[in-house]
Amino acid sequence: MNDFQKILNKNRCLLGFLLCALPGFFAQIAFPQERHITVASTTSTEQSGLFKHLLPVFEKKSAIQVRVVALGTGQALDMARRGDADVVFVHDRETEEKFLADGFGVQRFNVMYNDFVLIGPRSDPAKIAGGKDILAALKSIATTRAPFVSRGDKSGTHAAELRLWKLAGTDPLSGRGSWYRETGSGMGPSLNTASAMNAYAITDRGTWLAFRNRGELAVLVEGDQRLFNQYGVMLVNPAKHAHVKKELGQAFVDWLISAEGQKTISDYKISGAPLFFPNAQ
Amino acid sequence: MVNDFAAALSEALRLIASADAQLAQIVALSVRVSLAAVAFAALAALPLGALLAITRFPGRQALVAVLNALMGLPPVVVGLMIYLMLSRAGPLGQFGLLFTPAAMVIAQAVLITPIIAALTRQVIEDAWLEYAEQLRSLGASNTDAALTLLWDTRFALITVVLAGFGRAAAEVGAVMIVGGNIDGVTRVMTTAIALETSKGDLPLALGLGMVLLAIIVGLNLLAHWVKLSAQRRYG
């Protein structure tokens, strides 16, 4: 009776094609390759480029695709608690232990370590460059009220930073809104912020070495034992979440702590400098 | 500043010239996801907008206002809601859709359905004011009238659908949350740009941004050309 129906008739082929093509198009998107695991990990392992180096080696050997979702440690563990990951690979011993104690993880293995460094502007208003004592450096930043960028995102790095402030006997939150600036984002974005504001920040060495927008920033304090940064890996407990891919996930965990996995980790270097030091035992 | 843009431009040209396989995959996924989202959204939103323009019922004005407001849905909120729905602990968890391109299609479709519906409602309502009497006198039902006006305003509606596509393709907050930016699986142009920004590789990030812009402009030119040639043929 109207134009529309006429056109509909005329274009029946096209319409039929669209109706048939759409579900196929969508199905392809909805049901990708089955042999894969999801790993909740941290921004530092992703943004430092480690996974790009590590995963192809594992995938080639095992024919298991590893899908990494990179978040802060706190968020990554939350994601696993909800059952959205098969394996967690993070770096905050304290919250990892809690995760295990709550029954969400099977067993935790040390994988590797690197260290945190305190970076800041070369002009160094807090006069801390070259120091070996991280607590003294933090105190000096607080007393001079020099700008300091914090992750503020419950990540492993954020947790480590807060522990150091506590050890230094300083409450940085009193400087909130003035010199203490929480970005609430990943390591990279926080470094971009620090670079733009010429602020101090605590970062893991891996992300720092891979970071390219340094501006006036440089490593000012390093080598303090309290800056040690341990990474651990756990299979999410299949008893809590039945759909966890137990065998595939465990294969990845086992490979990471195997001689081959450990060697692959230590082989990852940026301009000759290793980023992570394997220490599974 | 000028140097930054020059570096980004040469990075963009290098990316395109090298026909990098990984970049091609990211571009293809971006286009596929956003096209799927726009197809599903249009399928729901065009009839919805048309019916809302033609029918009269109590509370209709309030509904129109709400629909218009939903055009401003914050992507991160949509992302979070869909994340909670699709998470294994959520109501739709058993389908395992989280961190798949399907989840990204859903998020984008939810974001752009109100945009397409609200703009369609406006376009059709303007046409309805003009043709209502005529259509009614021919004894057209609401459905007939809606279909007729959708067809009559098709050229304006192409622009409406393109607006939806542009929003879908340029969106980052929601797809980052529900897709997870997984390399080779759910990494699209916008999340790749966010990642390179995180790494501090600003020229590469901006270069990718230029490639994205070029794709969106290209698709719009194509749609514009289709529209013009169709207009010439059908008048």
Residue A27 CB partners (closer than 8 Å, separation 6+): none
ipTM of the complex: 0.80
Using an 8 Å CB-CB cutoff, list chain B residues near A30.
97, 100-102
- Domains in chain A: ranges and CATH: 36-113+230-278 (3.40.190.10), 115-227 (3.40.190.10)
**Percentages of chain B per state (helix, strand, coil), in multiples of 5:** 80, 0, 20
Mean pLDDT of B64-75: 95
Percent of chain A at pLDDT exceeding 90: 80
Who has greater pLDDT, A19 or B65?
A: B65
pLDDT tens by residue, A219-232? 999 999 999 999 99
pLDDT > 60? residue A107: yes
Find which of A66, A69, A86, A217 to mutate to test the B interface (most B CBs within 10 Å of its CB). A69
pLDDT of res. B11: 81
DSSP states of chain A: --HHHHHHHHTHHHHHHHHHHHHHHHHHHHS--SSEEEEEEEHHHHHTTHHHHHHHHHHHHH--EEEEEEE-HHHHHHHHHTT--SEEEE--HHHHHHHHHTT-EEEEEEEEEEEEEEEEETT-TT--TT-S-HHHHHHHHHHHT--EEE--SS-HHHHHHHHHHHHTT--GGGGBTTTEEE--S-HHHHHHHHHHHT-EEEEEHHHHHH----TTEEEEE---GGGEEEEEEEEE-TTT-TTS-HHHHHHHHHHHHSHHHHHHHHT-EETTEES-EE---
Please tell me if residue A246 touches chain B, with a CB cutoff of 8 Å.
Answer: no
Specify the pairing of strand A200-204 against strand A273-274: unpaired
A187 at interface of B, judged by CB pairs closer than 8 A: yes
Q: Which residues contact B225 (CB under 8 A, 6 or more apart)?
A: none
Superfamily (CATH) of domain B2-234: MetI-like (1.10.3720.10)
pLDDT in tens, B137-162: 999 999 999 999 999 999 899 999 99
The string of pLDDT tens digits covering residues B31-61 is 999 999 999 999 999 999 999 999 999 999 9
pLDDT of res. A17: 55
Contact B198 A84 (CB under 8 A): no
**Taking CB atoms and an 8 Å cut-off, how many pairs form between chains A and B?**
99
CA B164/CA B23 separation, integer angstroms: 24
% of chain B exceeding 90 in pLDDT:
71
Q: How far apart are CA A157 and CA A72, in angstroms?
A: 8
Closest CA in chain B for residue A190 = B198
Do the beta carbons of residue B111 and residue B168 sit within 8 Å? yes
- What's CA B195's distance to the chain center, in Å? 22
User: What is the rounded distance in angstroms from the CA atom of residue A159 to the CA atom of residue A177?
Assistant: 20
Q: Which residue has the higher pLDDT, B15 or A258?
A: A258
Mean pLDDT (chain B) is 91
Residue A272 or residue B119, greater confidence? B119
The pLDDT of residue B234 is: 72
Q: Which has the closest alpha carbon to A240: A34, A88, A64?
A: A88
Q: What is the pLDDT of residues A57-77, one digit of tens each?
A: 999 999 999 999 999 899 999
CB atoms within 10 A of CB B111: 27
Alpha carbons B191 and B180: distance in angstroms, whole number: 9
- Per-chain mean pLDDT for chain A: 90
Strand partners, A150: A182
Span of A236-245, A265-274, B1-10, B18-27 with lowest mean pLDDT: B1-10
pLDDT value, residue B24: 87
Q: Would you say residue B235 has pLDDT above 90? A: no
pLDDT score of B232: 85
Q: How far apart are CA B117 and CA B111, in angstroms?
A: 11
Question: Which pLDDT belongs to residue A3?
Answer: 54
Which H or E element spans position B60? helix B60-70
Flag whether pLDDT at A16 surpasses 70. no
Per-residue pLDDT tens digits for A152-208: 998 999 999 999 999 999 999 999 989 999 999 889 999 999 999 999 999 999 999
Instruction: Give tens-digit pLDDT for B83-116.
Output: 999 999 999 999 999 999 999 999 999 999 999 9
pLDDT at A138 over 60: yes
pLDDT for the residue A31: 47
Give the residue from A205, A186, A253, A229 showing the smallest Cα distance to A39.
A253
Query: Of the candidates A4, A69, A212, which has its C-beta nearest B99's C-beta?
Result: A69
- Alpha-carbon gap: A278 to the closest alpha carbon of chain B (Å): 23
The fraction of chain A above a pLDDT of 70, given in percent, is 88
Residues of A in contact with B183 (CB under 8 A): 51-52, 68
CA proximity to A106, closest of A87, A78, A79, A82: A87
Using alpha carbons only, what angle is made at residue A266 by residues A261 and A269, rounded to the nearest 5 degrees?
130
Domain boundaries, chain B: 2-234
The reported pLDDT for the residue numbered A1 is 44
Q: Which of B46, B43, B25, B36 is nearest to B104 (CA)?
A: B36
**B71-75, B188-192, B198-202, range with the lowest pLDDT:** B198-202
Contact yes or no for A40/A70 (Cβ under 8 A) = no
Q: Report pLDDT digits (tens) over B12-30.
A: 888 878 877 888 899 999 9
Q: Quick check: B229 pLDDT over 60?
A: yes
